[in-house]
Amino acid sequence: MRTLPRRAAPFSLLALPIALLGTGVLAGCREASPAEDARPHVVTTIGMITDITQRIGGERIRVTGLMGPGVDPHLYKASAGDVRTFGSADLILYGGLHLEAAMAELLSEMDGRIRTRAVTDDIDRDLLLTPPEFQGQHDPHVWFDVALWITAARTVTDALVELDPDGAGDYRQRSDALLAELTELEAWVHARVSELPEARRVLITAHDAFNYFGRAYGFRVEGLQGLSTVAEAGTGDVQRVVSLILELGVPAIFVESSIPRRTVEAVQAAVRARGQDVEIGGLLFSDAMGDPGTDEGTYAGMVRHNVNTIVTALGGMGPDEGRSEELGSPGRPEGGVPEG
Ligand SMILES: [Zn+2]
């Protein structure tokens, strides 16, 4: 039986197409033109890496993030401009674990010429998930276990110190502040999730980005598509998920900002065709963050947005006081897109 309160999706789904217009943004643009900027140039891939790198590097470095809001890193192919950007880098920071699958060759080619570092390198291999369907490879979506992302932030710190030893004190000071913030975030996630009874912790999303989230915070996680988005969801995947929703009475499923929403909508339609209902509980940021300048455009803000969205839609007590301002806004509807 389901008697869960129905709540409006905290993040307006209408904002999704608008958010997608902001793709291809270079997240790290600054005032000085690149040619006259003598600071170390650090090129990053996904927004979550861009964010922690900017936080730790501060004004000592220039950061160029390749993948903006709505961009799918599994499918992302480097453009000629990206290759030039990599070529001008003093350090390249990427996710690794085959996250940037379509750039693997380019990254390994760069490795011989430019300092590169996968931010997941220092995570204990025993802590990595190796789902059977991924054929011996690790799941790359480590950022939704905040504790693992703290390790990634330490790796970024070490890489910046190696690149620019004169800035070590600066980097370590900013890193300590960030790590304290992330430690607090980790505690907040545990507290917020504990509002949901364990039986309601079933997270159904567009693709398998949330396995680390599930392990860390006690959710059963089902993705319609696999770990990578290269293979589209088939009718078998849809039927499997529909059966699970019917069996467990799951009240809500979720769309993701970097994945087309049609497969999730197909699940909803199939559930309704069987005489039950399931809500689309809101938009989750999985492999890309929100627009620059919004709360969801930061790593911590995106984690809070996702957790609030999940807990609210699955029947928690609603966002706690003081967080509501993050949930009321669908993000900036326009602007906020720095020129490339
Ligand atoms: Zn993914």
What pLDDT sits at residue 192? 96
Distance in angstroms (rounded) separating the CA atoms of residues 211 and 217:
10
For residue 91, the CA-to-ligand 1 centroid distance in Å is 24
For residue 76, the CA-to-ligand 1 centroid distance in Å is 11
By the 8 A CB rule, do 143 and 120 touch?
no
Using alpha carbons only, what angle is made at residue 36 by residues 82 and 39, rounded to the nearest 5 degrees? 75
253 bridge partner residues: 280
For residue 32, the CA-to-ligand 1 centroid distance in Å is 34
What pLDDT sits at residue 316? 67
For residue 135, the CA-to-ligand 1 centroid distance in Å is 16
For residue 75, the CA-to-ligand 1 centroid distance in Å is 9
Per-residue pLDDT in tens (0 to 9) along the chain, 340 residues: 333 333 333 333 334 333 333 333 444 444 556 767 899 999 999 999 999 999 999 999 999 999 999 899 999 999 999 999 999 999 999 999 999 999 988 998 888 899 999 999 999 999 999 987 777 889 999 999 999 999 999 999 999 999 999 999 999 999 999 999 999 999 999 999 999 999 999 999 988 889 999 999 999 999 887 656 666 667 778 888 999 999 999 999 999 888 888 889 999 999 999 999 999 999 999 999 999 999 999 999 999 999 999 999 998 655 554 344 343 333 333 333 333 3
| Structure tokens belonging to residue 154 | 């330490």
For residue 207, the CA-to-ligand 1 centroid distance in Å is 7
Distance in angstroms (rounded) separating the CA atoms of residues 322 and 124:
36
For residue 208, the CA-to-ligand 1 centroid distance in Å is 6
For residue 173, the CA-to-ligand 1 centroid distance in Å is 32
Distance in angstroms (rounded) separating the CA atoms of residues 268 and 43:
39
For residue 206, the CA-to-ligand 1 centroid distance in Å is 10
For residue 166, the CA-to-ligand 1 centroid distance in Å is 36
For residue 79, the CA-to-ligand 1 centroid distance in Å is 20
What pLDDT sits at residue 271? 96
For residue 336, the CA-to-ligand 1 centroid distance in Å is 25
For residue 101, the CA-to-ligand 1 centroid distance in Å is 10
For residue 277, the CA-to-ligand 1 centroid distance in Å is 27
| Structure tokens belonging to residue 92 | 């390249």
What pLDDT sits at residue 123? 98
Distance in angstroms (rounded) separating the CA atoms of residues 79 and 77:
6
For residue 164, the CA-to-ligand 1 centroid distance in Å is 32
pTM given for the model? 0.81
For residue 335, the CA-to-ligand 1 centroid distance in Å is 27
